[in-house]
């Protein structure tokens, strides 16, 4: 989308505006305004002209202009009907120097989770990667993963889905089978990898969303971050690996454009004040107060998850004292009070 189109969208989002006022604001002729309005109509916007000027009456269901229209966050949107991975595209843009861009796709054909695990991303979901250049040390990058999880939970809750965060990057919807055993979890993971049948039980929560943050930079300064967010929105959970759920399965379809806008607006607001990220995360965390088992590169840590610490490390109270875990796969075994 070119800058003039973007400026026109911003002007129209504020309410009806006359042709001369638009020409003035955009620094183009009235004929050029008319051409731009026609182009918006071609993209699926309903634009009527009345006494008070041009007014938007209809917004397309999804797409770059649709998401940017009325968006209260400082990001440009690049939209694809289909792409390999929005994170890969985000990395390309980052390498070209881009910043404050969000790559959004209807479907992904080669998307990935952590450790290059496969991520299913059929049409109808929210698959988005933010390209950012924050002035932070590399060690603080995980805070952005936490902020993304907070943004997903808030958008999901606004849609009526009772979501919460499992450290570090999963958004879950808790189920009747809260606190499943290790074996069930391992079974699910291996079945997911083999594309096996859907089991009747879940692992103390069905996975609604995941976040994959990638970065480049020196120790003292991040060069760029790509924060990839995947939310199973208007998709059938049956199309996803076992143990997954979707907003459609939980509460029915929701407006994807509005969902993405809320997600981006919350992410922008939370990262604007990085000191608020941890408290926002704690507010929505399912992990704190749970007896957990975390598989780290240095072995297994088991105990009560008692807190999260900058830059997103989990504090686990074990039999041998407190351990601070920076990365790993976490399972909720049971509430710690039991
Ligand atoms: C994650 O990895 O949860 C991070 C997922 C990030 C995906 C986004 S979508 C936009 C952007 N572009 C990308 O290419 N990626 C990002 P992890 O914690 O490693 O979980 C991966 C595991 O979740 C897989 O091994 C499966 O078991 C399971 N899984 C795969 N697809 C799923 C889905 N759609 N919903 C729930 N679980 C899924």
CATH assignment at residue 53: 1.10.10.10
pLDDT of residue 181: 35
Mean pLDDT of the chain: 90
In which band, very low, low, confident or very high, does the pLDDT at 182 lie, cut at 50, 70 and 90? very low
Same domain (yes/no): 270, 124:
yes
Same domain (yes/no): 42, 180:
no
Total-model pTM? 0.90
CATH number of 218's domain? 3.30.930.10
Closest CA to ligand 1's atom 37: 244
User: Would you say the CB of residue 232 lies under 6 angstroms from ligand 1?
Assistant: yes
Extract the tokens encoding 72: 């209260």
Same domain (yes/no): 20, 94:
no
User: Would you say the CB of residue 111 lies under 6 angstroms from ligand 1?
Assistant: yes
Same domain (yes/no): 230, 329:
no
**Rounded to the nearest whole angstrom, what is the distance from the C-alpha of residue 3 to the centroid of ligand 1?**
34
- Find the mean pLDDT for residues 203-226: 91
Task: Tell me the DSSP string of 87-109.
Answer: HHHHHHHHHTT--SEEEEEEEES
Same domain (yes/no): 200, 92:
yes
Same domain (yes/no): 32, 131:
no
Same domain (yes/no): 327, 196:
no
Which sign, positive or negative, has the C-alpha torsion 123, 77, 256, 38? negative
Using most ligand atoms within 8 A of CB, pick from 210, 213, 229 the residue to mutate for ligand 1.
210
**Rounded to the nearest whole angstrom, what is the distance from the C-alpha of residue 105 to the centroid of ligand 1?**
15
CATH number of 297's domain? 2.30.30.100
Using most ligand atoms within 8 A of CB, pick from 113, 161, 170, 206 the residue to mutate for ligand 1.
113
Q: What digits encode the pLDDT tens for the residues 309-318?
A: 999 999 999 9
Measure the CA–CA gap between 12 and 16, rounded to whole angstroms: 6
User: Would you say the CB of residue 104 lies under 6 angstroms from ligand 1?
Assistant: no
Q: What digits encode the pLDDT tens for the residues 297-306?
A: 999 999 999 9
- Tell me: pLDDT of 197 over 80: no
The secondary element (H helix, E strand) that includes residue 153 is helix 142-158
Supply the range of the domain harboring residue 16.
3-58
Give the percent of the chain with pLDDT over 90. 86
Number of domains in the chain: 3
Same domain (yes/no): 276, 330:
no
pLDDT of residue 178: 41
Q: What digits encode the pLDDT tens for the residues 239-266?
A: 999 999 999 999 999 999 999 999 999 9
Closest CA to ligand 1's atom 25: 117
Closest CA to ligand 1's atom 11: 228
- Domain boundary at 58, 73, 95, which? 58
pLDDT of residue 2: 83
**Residues 6 or more apart in contact with residue 256 via CB below 8 angstroms:** 61, 62, 124, 126, 233, 234
User: Would you say the CB of residue 242 lies under 6 angstroms from ligand 1?
Assistant: no
The secondary element (H helix, E strand) that includes residue 313 is strand 313-318
Measure the CA–CA gap between 12 and 69, rounded to whole angstroms: 8
Measure the CA–CA gap between 246 and 267, rounded to whole angstroms: 21
Taking the CA of residue 90 as reference, the ligand 1 atom at the shortest distance is 12
Closest CA to ligand 1's atom 35: 244
If one counts every other C-beta atom within 10 angstroms of the C-beta of residue 6, the result is 17
CA dihedral 56, 61, 63, 67 (to 10 degrees): 60
**Rounded to the nearest whole angstrom, what is the distance from the C-alpha of residue 162 to the centroid of ligand 1?**
20
Same domain (yes/no): 14, 122:
no
In which band, very low, low, confident or very high, does the pLDDT at 336 lie, cut at 50, 70 and 90? confident
Same domain (yes/no): 239, 125:
yes
Using most ligand atoms within 8 A of CB, pick from 230, 234, 246, 295 the residue to mutate for ligand 1.
230
Q: What digits encode the pLDDT tens for the residues 48-101?
A: 999 999 999 999 999 999 999 999 999 999 999 999 999 999 999 999 999 999
Question: Of the given ranges (104-108, 183-187, 208-212), which has the lowest mean pLDDT?
Answer: 183-187
**Rounded to the nearest whole angstrom, what is the distance from the C-alpha of residue 177 to the centroid of ligand 1?**
22
In which band, very low, low, confident or very high, does the pLDDT at 185 lie, cut at 50, 70 and 90? very low
Specify whether the CB–CB gap between 89 and 75 falls below 8 A.
Answer: no
pLDDT of residue 198: 36
Same domain (yes/no): 29, 75:
no
Measure the CA–CA gap between 237 and 1, rounded to whole angstroms: 33
Closest CA to ligand 1's atom 2: 113
Strand 126-132: give its sheet, edge to edge: 76-83, 101-108, 126-132, 221-231, 206-218, 170-173, 163-166
Same domain (yes/no): 93, 218:
yes
Taking the CA of residue 170 as reference, the ligand 1 atom at the shortest distance is 3
pLDDT of residue 11: 94
């Amino acid at each position: 989308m070119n800058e003039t189109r973007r400026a026109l969208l911003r002007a129209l989002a504020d309410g009806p505006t006359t042709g001369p006022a638009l020409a003035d604001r955009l620094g183009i002729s009235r004929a050029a305004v008319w051409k731009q309005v026609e182009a918006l109509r071609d993209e699926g916007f309903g634009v009527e002209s009345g006494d008070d000027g041009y007014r938007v009456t209809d917004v397309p269901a999804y797409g770059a202009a649709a998401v940017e229209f009325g968006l209260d966050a400082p990001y440009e949107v690049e939209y694809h009907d289909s792409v390999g991975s929005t994170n890969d595209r985000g990395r390309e843009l980052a390498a070209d120097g881009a910043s404050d861009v969000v790559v959004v796709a209807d479907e992904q054909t080669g998307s990935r989770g952590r450790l290059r695990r496969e991520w299913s991303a059929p049409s109808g979901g929210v698959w988005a990667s933010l390209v950012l250049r924050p002035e932070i040390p590399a060690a603080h990058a995980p805070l952005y993963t936490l902020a993304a999880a907070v943004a997903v939970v808030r958008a999901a809750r606004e849609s009526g889905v009772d979501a919460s965060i499992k450290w570090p990057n999963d958004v879950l919807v808790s189920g009747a089978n809260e606190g499943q055993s290790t074996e069930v979890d391992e079974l699910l993971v291996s079945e997911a990898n083999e594309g096996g049948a859907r089991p009747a039980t879940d692992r103390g929560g069905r996975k609604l969303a995941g976040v994959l943050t990638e970065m480049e930079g020196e120790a003292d300064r991040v060069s760029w971050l790509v924060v990839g967010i995947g939310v199973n929105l208007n998709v059938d959970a049956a199309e996803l690996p076992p143990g997954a759920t979707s907003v459609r399965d939980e509460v029915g379809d929701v407006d994807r454009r509005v969902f993405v806008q809320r997600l981006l607006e919350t992410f922008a607001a939370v990262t604007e004040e990085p000191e608020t990220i941890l408290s926002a995360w704690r507010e929505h965390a399912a992990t704190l107060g749970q007896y957990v088992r975390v598989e780290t590169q240095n072995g297994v840590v088991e105990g009560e998850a008692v807190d999260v610490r900058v830059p997103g490390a989990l504090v686990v109270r074990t039999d041998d004292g407190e351990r601070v875990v920076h990365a790993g796969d976490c399972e909720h075994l049971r509430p710690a009070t039991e």
